[in-house]
Amino acid sequence: MEKNKKILIMGLPGSGKSYLSDKLAALLGAVWLNADRVRAEANDWDFSLEGRTRQAERMKRLAQEGLDAGKHVIADFVCPTPKTREDFAADYIVWVDTIKEGRFEDTNKMFVPPEEYDFRVPTQNAELWSLRIAEEIQEYVWDNRRPTAQMLGRCLNFN
């Protein structure tokens, strides 16, 4: 059996990381670590360099706990620099590249678009991209017998 993967869904705030992560986690049966929820549980809203480092370490520790429990882990957070991405050490990186600026100026200034990633999401269509990513990770196999909106529409018109 293929080893479980630590999957990083990264991009600017407001790019659609959480929505995509939610869909992908359901397809893969993965543990989903949402950075905002992790910060809320820690009650740590410090966005200084030290605060961001603490948050990255929390995400890394929680991801390892999910892997140790035998699950894929999806970590959904900005991960703005090459150093933070290197430190997180994901097995698979998804760059949600749907916006050029987020809602936080300080994050926009520090965000360095990744030069290396496994999958780039250029548009906000989580249903489509989550299927494609899951297929690439080779854990989700499309079932062409499963009803879809397109198939149901065709069924209604047969005589």
- What CA–CA distances, in Å, run from 18 to 33, 35, 68, 141? 9, 9, 23, 23
Its pTM surpasses 0.95: no
- Cβ atoms of 57 and 38 within 8 Å: the answer is no
User: Residue 52 phi/psi, 5° resolution?
Assistant: -65, -40
Q: Which CATH architecture has domain 6-156?
A: 3-Layer(aba) Sandwich (3.40)
The pLDDT assigned to 138 comes to 66
Report the pLDDT value the prediction gives residue 149, as an integer from 0 to 100: 46
pLDDT the model gives residue 145: 52
Q: How far apart are CA 9 and CA 18, in angstroms?
A: 8
The Cα 104–Cα 20 span in angstroms is 20
From CA 97, how far away is CA 79, in angstroms rounded? 13
- Which pLDDT score, from 0 to 100, does residue 2 have? 64
Quote the pLDDT of residue 152. Answer: 43
Using CA atoms in the order 76, 48, 97, 134, what is the torsion angle rounded to 10 degrees?
-20
Query: What is the mean pLDDT of each successive set of 10 residues along the chain, which is 159 residues long?
Result: 86 95 94 96 90 91 96 95 92 96 93 95 90 78 49 43
- Torsion over CA: 27, 28, 34, 35 (sign): negative
